[in-house]
Amino acid sequence: MLSKKASCDSHGQDSSYFLGWQEYEKNPYDQVQNPNGIIQMGLAENQLSFDLIESWLASNPDALELKRNGESVFKELALFQDYNGFPAFKNEMVDFMASMRGNKVKFDPNKLVLTAGSTSANETLMFCLADRGDAFLLPIPYYPGFDRDLKWRTEAEIVPIKCTSANGYKITETALEEAYQQAQKFNLKVKGVLVTNPSNPLGTTMTRLELNHLIDFAIEKEIHIISDEIYSGTVFNSPSFVSIAEALTERNLEDAEVWNRCHIVYSLSKDLGLPGFRVGMIYSNNQAVVSAATKMSSFGLVSAQTQYTLSQMLKDKKFTANYMEENQKRLERRKEMLVCGLKGAGIRCLESNAGLFCWVDMRHLLQSNTFEAEKKLWKKVVCEFGLNISPGSSCHCSEPGWFRMCFANMSEETLMVAMQRIKALVESTIVPQQTGLSKSRWLKNKWVFQLASYEQEPDR
Q: What number is the average pLDDT over the span 187-201?
A: 97
pLDDT digits (tens, 9 = 90+) for 296-324: 988 888 898 999 999 999 999 999 999 99
User: What is the pLDDT at residue 11?
Assistant: 57
**φ, ψ for residue 307 (rounded to 5)?**
-60, -40
Q: Under a CB-based contact definition with an 8 Å cutoff, are residues 95 and 103 in contact? A: no
Q: Under a CB-based contact definition with an 8 Å cutoff, are residues 223 and 261 in contact? A: yes
Query: Is the pLDDT reported for residue 457 higher than 90?
Result: no
Is the N-terminal amide bond of 61 cis, ω within 30° of 0?
no
Q: Write down how long the chain is.
A: 460
Catalytic positions, please?
Answer: 143, 228, 230, 270
Q: Work out the pLDDT band at 10, boundaries 50, 70, 90.
A: low
Cα 396 from Cα 284, distance rounded (Å): 28
Q: What number is the average pLDDT over the span 55-63?
A: 93
Query: Is the pLDDT reported for residue 72 higher than 50?
Result: yes
- DSSP annotation of 303 reads P
What's the count of helices (H) and strands (E) in the chain, helices before strands?
A: 19, 15
- Which position has the higher pLDDT, 23 or 174? 174
Q: Under a CB-based contact definition with an 8 Å cutoff, are residues 156 and 100 in contact? A: no
Among the listed residues 147, 30, 83, 78, the one whose alpha carbon sits nearest the alpha carbon of residue 413: 30
CB burial of residue 81 (10 Å; 0-12, 13-18, 19+): middle
Cα 205 from Cα 352, distance rounded (Å): 8
Picking from 100-104, 257-261, 442-446, which range would have the lowest pLDDT averaged per residue?
442-446
Q: Work out the pLDDT band at 431, boundaries 50, 70, 90.
A: low
**Beta-strand relationship, 190-196 and 135-140:** parallel
39 to 189, 313, 409: CA distances (angstroms):
42, 32, 10
Q: Under a CB-based contact definition with an 8 Å cutoff, are residues 94 and 112 in contact? A: yes
Among the listed residues 53, 29, 58, 59, the one whose alpha carbon sits nearest the alpha carbon of residue 41: 29
414: amino acid identity, one letter? T
Please report the domains of the chain, with CATH numbers, ordered by start residue.
Answer: 4-48+328-453 (3.90.1150.10), 61-315 (3.40.640.10)
User: What is the pLDDT at residue 13?
Assistant: 62
- Residue 350 CB neighbour total at 10 angstroms: 19
Q: SS3 breakdown of the chain: % helix, strand, coil, rounded to 5?
A: 50, 15, 35
Long-range contacts of the stretch 17-25 (C-beta < 8 A, 24+): 17/42, 17/144, 17/145, 17/390, 17/391, 17/394, 17/395, 18/144, 20/378, 20/382, 20/388, 20/389, 20/390, 21/388, 23/382, 23/383, 23/388, 24/388
Is the CA virtual torsion 354, 112, 276, 128 positive or negative? Answer: negative
387 to 122, 245, 376: CA distances (angstroms):
30, 38, 14
Cα 204 from Cα 64, distance rounded (Å): 35
Per DSSP, the three-state class of 349 is strand
User: What is the pLDDT at residue 182?
Assistant: 96
Contacts of 14 (CB under 8 A, 6+ apart): none
Q: Work out the pLDDT band at 112, boundaries 50, 70, 90.
A: very high
